[in-house]
């Protein structure tokens, strides 16, 4: 270690560990006060210092209690404050990372989805000593897309955080023809990863809203008739499995061309950790909660209020 880095560690221990003021650190180390500030910043830049703000409102609030009671949830974490856009995604990513770290144990098999929200979670994970953990992808990818879907990066961060073995599902999530999907799914290595996904005790995922600019709507294999139907009848998707307001998979012809964990397989998992926030996801999240797809929820206060005020489950929507 370089002498400057060692000095930065000493400054950080005095400042954060013992609660000394910067003037006191300056006198203790025999350096100027501006130098102390630079040393503390260097310690943060090198990753020697980790600052966490523990807001009791995030896990203990009347709003969280209402969500737990209304939907029979095991745990709810709520981001507080006025964050929006990228700041909101970062805030719920941080909360979800802490929840996941607490729920991953030695030997666990963890199922993982992907997307912008899950990538934000992955970036916030702190390396946590675990043995024999496996991370398995629960849906295929979208290899030809104008947006970065970040599935590789998300898997990498999760595996690094828990010293885990990756079990990647290196196939498209959506095929042009059902016959092609069946042929690919029959391959032994694909079957093995899908079976691991079914065996996983924990699933980590988000919900997707239904809008023309959503990721899957940009897939070249989504037919114009599929898009039209989903915009009219789908409440949202999990693992690119679209469901209606009754929580039923609403487009079987699309499901026949999709490689991903099914909604029925999700429902029987012990821990179903959903990370989702924002007005565009309220309908999808409300339906997922009512359908029992979620056991642990990470969202924000504004989204929680909107979900609780949403009307009850609808029935009788058309499907095909």
Q: What is the pLDDT of residues 59-74, one digit of tens each?
A: 448 999 999 999 999 9
Q: In terms of Cα–Cα distance, which of 259, 126, 240 is closest to 181?
A: 259
Which residue in this structure is represented by tokens 């700041």?
87
The whole-number pLDDT of residue 34 equals 80
- Cα 211 to Cα 76, 116, 140, 199, 305: the distances in Å are 27, 16, 21, 32, 22
Question: What is the Cα–Cα distance from 278 to 88, expressed in whole angstroms?
Answer: 8
- Reduced to 3 states, what is the DSSP secondary structure of residue 222? coil
Q: What is the pLDDT of residues 109-145, one digit of tens each?
A: 999 999 999 999 999 998 888 999 999 999 998 865 5
Q: What is the pLDDT of residues 10-58, one digit of tens each?
A: 998 888 877 788 888 899 999 988 898 889 888 888 888 876 655 555 4
Which residue in this structure is represented by tokens 């980590």?
204
CATH architecture of the domain 56-309 equals 3-Layer(aba) Sandwich (3.40)
Instruction: Examine the pLDDT at 318 and tell me if it is beyond 50.
Output: no
Q: What is the pLDDT of residues 186-204, one digit of tens each?
A: 999 999 999 999 999 999 9
**Domain 3-45 matches domain 56-309 at the CATH topology level:** no
Label residue 99 by pLDDT band (50, 70, 90). Answer: very high
Domain limits of the chain?
Answer: 3-45, 56-309
Phi, psi of 152 (to 5 degrees): -65, -45
Q: What is the pLDDT of residues 256-278, one digit of tens each?
A: 999 999 999 999 999 999 999 99
- Reduced to 3 states, what is the DSSP secondary structure of residue 79? strand
Phi, psi of 117 (to 5 degrees): -65, -45
Residue 319's beta-bridge partner residues? Answer: none
Q: How many CB atoms lie within 10 A of CB 257?
A: 22
Question: What is the Cα–Cα distance from 272 to 71, expressed in whole angstroms?
Answer: 13
The whole-number pLDDT of residue 210 equals 84
Question: What is the Cα–Cα distance from 276 to 274, expressed in whole angstroms?
Answer: 6
The whole-number pLDDT of residue 61 equals 83
**Percent of all residues in the chain with a pLDDT value above 90, rounded to a whole number:** 61
The whole-number pLDDT of residue 319 equals 36
**Could you tell me the pTM of the whole model?**
0.79
> To the nearest whole number, what is the mean pLDDT of the chain?
88
Written out in words, the top-level CATH class of the domain with range 3-45 is mainly alpha
Label residue 105 by pLDDT band (50, 70, 90). Answer: very high
**Percent of all residues in the chain with a pLDDT value above 70, rounded to a whole number:** 90
Label residue 212 by pLDDT band (50, 70, 90). Answer: confident
Q: What is the pLDDT of residues 170-183, one digit of tens each?
A: 999 999 999 999 99
Phi, psi of 57 (to 5 degrees): -70, -20
């Amino acid at each position: 270690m370089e002498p400057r880095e060692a000095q930065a560690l000493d400054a950080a221990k005095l400042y954060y560990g013992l609660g000394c003021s910067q003037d006191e650190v300056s006198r203790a180390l025999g350096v100027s006060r501006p130098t102390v500030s630079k040393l503390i910043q260097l310690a943060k830049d090198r990753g020697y210092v980790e600052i966490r703000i523990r807001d009791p409102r995030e896990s203990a609030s009347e709003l969280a209690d209402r969500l737990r009671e209304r939907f029979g949830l095991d745990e709810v974490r709520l981001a507080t404050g006025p964050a929006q856009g990228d700041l909101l995604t970062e805030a719920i990513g941080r909360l979800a990372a802490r929840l996941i770290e607490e729920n991953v144990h030695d030997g666990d098999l963890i199922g993982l989805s992907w997307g912008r929200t899950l990538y934000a979670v992955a970036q916030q994970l702190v390396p946590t000593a675990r043995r024999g953990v496996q991370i398995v992808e629960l849906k295929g990818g979208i290899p030809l897309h104008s947006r970065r879907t970040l599935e590789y990066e998300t898997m990498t961060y999760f595996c690094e955080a828990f010293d885990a073995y990756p079990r990647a599902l290196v196939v498209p999530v959506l095929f042009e023809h059902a016959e092609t999907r069946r042929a690919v799914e029959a391959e032994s290595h694909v079957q093995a990863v899908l079976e691991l996904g079914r065996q996983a005790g924990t699933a980590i995922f988000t919900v997707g809203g239904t809008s023309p600019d959503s990721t899957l709507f940009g897939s070249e294999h989504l037919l114009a008739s599929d898009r039209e139907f989903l915009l009219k009848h789908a409440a949202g998707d999990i693992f690119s499995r679209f469901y209606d307001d009754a929580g039923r998979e609403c487009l079987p012809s699309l499901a026949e061309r999709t490689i991903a964990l099914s909604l029925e397989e999700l429902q029987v998992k012990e821990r179903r950790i959903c990370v989702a926030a924002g007005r565009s996801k309220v309908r999808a999240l409300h339906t997922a909660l009512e359908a029992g797809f979620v056991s642990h929820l990470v969202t924000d206060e504004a989204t929680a209020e909107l979900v609780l005020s949403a009307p009850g489950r609808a029935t009788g929507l058309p499907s095909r």
